Amino acid sequence: MAYQPHPRARVEGQSAPLSAGADTIAAVATPAGRGGIGVVRVSGARVREIAGGVLGALPEPRHATLADFRTAQGAPIDSGIALFFPAPRSYTGEDVLELQGHGGPVVMRELLRRCVALGARVAEPGEFTRRAFLNDRIDLAQAESVADLIDASSTEAAASAARSLAGEFSQRITSLVAALTELRMHVEACIDFPEEEIDPADRKALDEKLSAIRVAHAVLLDAARQGAVLREGLTVALVGRPNVGKSSLLNRLAGEDVAIVTPIAGTTRDYVRATIELEGVPIHLIDTAGLRDAAADEVERIGIERTWAAAASAGAVLYITEEGEQPRVEDASLLARLPAGIPKAHVFNKIDLSRSTASTSAAGKDAEIHLSAKTGDGVAALRSWLLETAGWRPHGEGLFMARERHLVALRVAGERLASAERNTQAFELFAEDLKITQDALGQITGAVSADDLLGEIFSRFCIGK
């Protein structure tokens, strides 16, 4: 059975029920530019009127209907497929009309104008999905997964987003909330009837239920952390002096010639970006201009500035030197300037020239890795370090997508559950901890949400979703 979101309990700061809005909205739902097919999507109370104006008649519900799209004067705009989804069994929970025509920008523009002339307004980014949320077609975690599925940068990330969209993450949150609700009922009954003596067996049962909830929460938090790694990945800056093999290493990791490689020092003058997929985790690599104390010209100076900026914003840094070289004062100076607190790997490249062997040593978050970008010897160890640094671990199937706000809510829930365990003898405090835990989890699915949070989430969607 498909997951069905629970109706929202409330929106913080708002006493009146939520409404998706009385306006009828329309937007081009396919990417801008030329394409084989373009789609204009319309949702709201005036859909039937708009369908009559554009098509001449309302299509049969949920049947693809070949139709002519016409202007107010009856002139043809295009011919294509019309689909009508009556409320409430539609994406938004409202009447929805989809007009599928030829994907030229002029055709799409004129078709959208016709819908607006008949009473629709142009939709805001994410407004269709926002209406789906407000009409209880999906919950907030599912709504976010729509954008995550579109933006997924790896196969595993896309699969995880699809599982979240199907409600797997939400189901686990809902199960945890249900267990909390049951526990709260028992605790608050003890508060309401203080004259009743608590049976030791009942108190033990409360402790066992709380312990089971904490275990389930810990498992969920761990899975959410892995889901966040799939969504965000890791951004890695490749830095070092000119001509030490940064671009060669980028090409080796990417499996293709992304960057130009020549024997001439300073070939790379600006960022070169590539995203690779390691066990489904997106690793965003940035090849940078070679670092040295004095730039040869203004272009190189700007490139070096951008290298330092890339290192400062990265989640990890690979500092690359040549195997077998005598230690340089310049390298020590450059290494000292790298941002503190982020993981770094000192990569000794070109072991094939010095006939050294590949090896790896680690010290905390940092590592030394000896490899050859040319032959690939030792690169597997670098890939393993990148995955470990990203926070990835081998896992079973069934991960779902998670965002930073989900992790924050789960951490708050964990803190309050720990507090609840300390307060099992003080039922008022115990009950309050459970309530705050439940509210924190409700923020993930939207059972408890704030208007500014909804605005932030849906503003990041593309128009037409």
Tens digits of per-residue pLDDT, 58-85?
999 999 999 999 999 999 999 999 999 9
Say if residue 247 carries a ligand binding annotation: yes
Q: Has residue 365 got a pLDDT over 90?
A: no
CATH class of 151-229+403-446: mainly alpha
Question: Annotated binding residue at 289?
Answer: yes
290 annotated ligand binder: yes
Question: 246 among the known binding-site residues?
Answer: yes
| 239, pLDDT greater than 60 | yes
Q: How confident is the model at residue 452 (pLDDT cuts 50, 70, 90)?
A: low
Structure tokens at 20: 């998706």
Annotated domain spans of the chain: 25-138, 151-229+403-446, 234-390
| The domain made up of 234-390 is a member of CATH 3.40.50.720 | no
245 among annotated binding-site residues: yes
Strand partners, 360: 369
Q: Is 265 annotated as a binding residue?
A: yes
354 annotated binding-site participant: no
- Better-predicted residue by pLDDT, 81 or 452: 81
Check the annotation: does 287 bind a ligand. Answer: yes
Half-sphere exposure of 245 (CA within 13 A, CB side): 22
Is 36 marked as a binding-site residue? Answer: no
pLDDT of residue 262: 45
98 is known to lie in a ligand binding site:
yes
* Helix/strand/coil percentages in the chain, nearest 5: 45, 20, 35
Residue 93 backbone zone (phi > 0: left; psi -120 to 50: alpha; other: beta): left
State yes or no: 204 annotated in a binding site: no
Contacts of 183 (CB under 8 A, 6+ apart): 206, 209, 210, 213, 434
CATH number of 25-138: 3.30.1360.120
- Read off the pLDDT band of 220 (50, 70, 90): very high
Whether 384 has a binding-site annotation, put simply, is no
Q: Is 262 annotated as a binding residue?
A: yes
* DSSP H/E element including 159: helix 155-165
DSSP state of 23: -
Mean predicted lDDT score pLDDT of the chain: 85
Alpha-carbon distances of 413 from 139, 173, 177, 417, rounded to whole Å:
19, 11, 11, 6
Is 297 annotated among the ligand-binding residues? no
Has 30 been labeled as part of a binding site?
no
> 350 labelled as ligand-binding?
no
Average pLDDT over residues 218-242: 90
Q: How confident is the model at residue 400 (pLDDT cuts 50, 70, 90)?
A: confident
> Who wins on pLDDT, 18 or 437?
437
Q: Which pLDDT does position 17 carry in this prediction?
A: 34
Q: Which DSSP letter does residue 5 get?
A: P
Is 268 marked as binding a ligand? Answer: yes
- Is there a binding annotation on residue 344? no
pTM, two decimals, is 0.73
Any binding-site annotation on 457? no
